[in-house]
Structure 1
């Protein structure tokens, strides 16, 4: 998705924490988070504590197989949508636009991934049929 450079120095402490959590993770979700996180840090785009905590939780649970990538994207769509409204209310237009865009991307990602990604139960051999 995005080229992640190992020599990037994170300026935002929350984004640095996300980067540290994604290091060494193998899931597509963690790789996508890592690339987008670095891109946003380079452009000075912050992240709310709620969204940071949600992303960290998603990375860990997707990697363990306790949460599907589809569900992780759905959660991020909701959190970034909430953040967009909050940022807009506070008059932070650029931040609100990036968060709204992130919400839309995650919503689209959840729909796309739902067409081919197994749920944690399906990975255990439990089919929905």
Structure 2
């Protein structure tokens, strides 16, 4: 999805933690997280502790089949929306704009993914119909 440079040195410790979590993961979600995380670090854009923890939790649960990619994107849309509200209220407009964009993109990704991605139950052979 996104070209990730193996030689990138992370400046933001939170983004480094996210990167460490995505290493060796095979899901589309973790690959997308890895690429976007690196792009945001290169542009010196931070992430709240709440969102960092949520992203790490999502990467791990998606990889284990405990959470669908659709639900992971929905959770990120909500978290980044909250972060955007907080950033805007503090006058941090650049950070807030990026978080608002992330919220919108994750919302769109959840809708797109829902059209073809199996839920964890469907992967176990449980038909929703």
List aligned pairs for 1:74-93, cutoff 5 A.
74-93=74-93
Question: Partners in 2 of 1:98 and 1:2 — Cα distance?
Answer: 17
Unaligned stretches of 5+ residues in structure 2: none
Superposed CA RMSD in Å reads: 0.3
Instruction: Say yes or no: does 1:114 pair with 2:114.
Output: yes
List aligned pairs for 1:19-30, cutoff 5 A.
19-30=19-30
After superposition, give the CA deviation of every residue in 1:74-125 in whole Å (9 maximum; x if it has no partner).
0000000000000000010000000000000000000000000000000000
Q: For residue 2 of structure 1, report the CA deviation from its aligned partner.
A: 1.2
Match of 2:71 in 1: 71
Match of 2:51 in 1: 51
Count of residues in correspondence between the two structures: 129
Question: Partners in 2 of 1:88 and 1:73 — Cα distance?
Answer: 22
After superposition, give the CA deviation of every residue in 1:31-51 in whole Å (9 maximum; x if it has no partner).
000000000000000000000
Question: Partners in 2 of 1:5 and 1:88 — Cα distance?
Answer: 31
Instruction: Say yes or no: does 1:32 pair with 2:17.
Output: no
Question: Partners in 1 of 2:24 and 2:2 — Cα distance?
Answer: 16
Instruction: Kindly report structure 1 stretches of 4+ aligned residues shifted beyond 6 Å.
Output: none
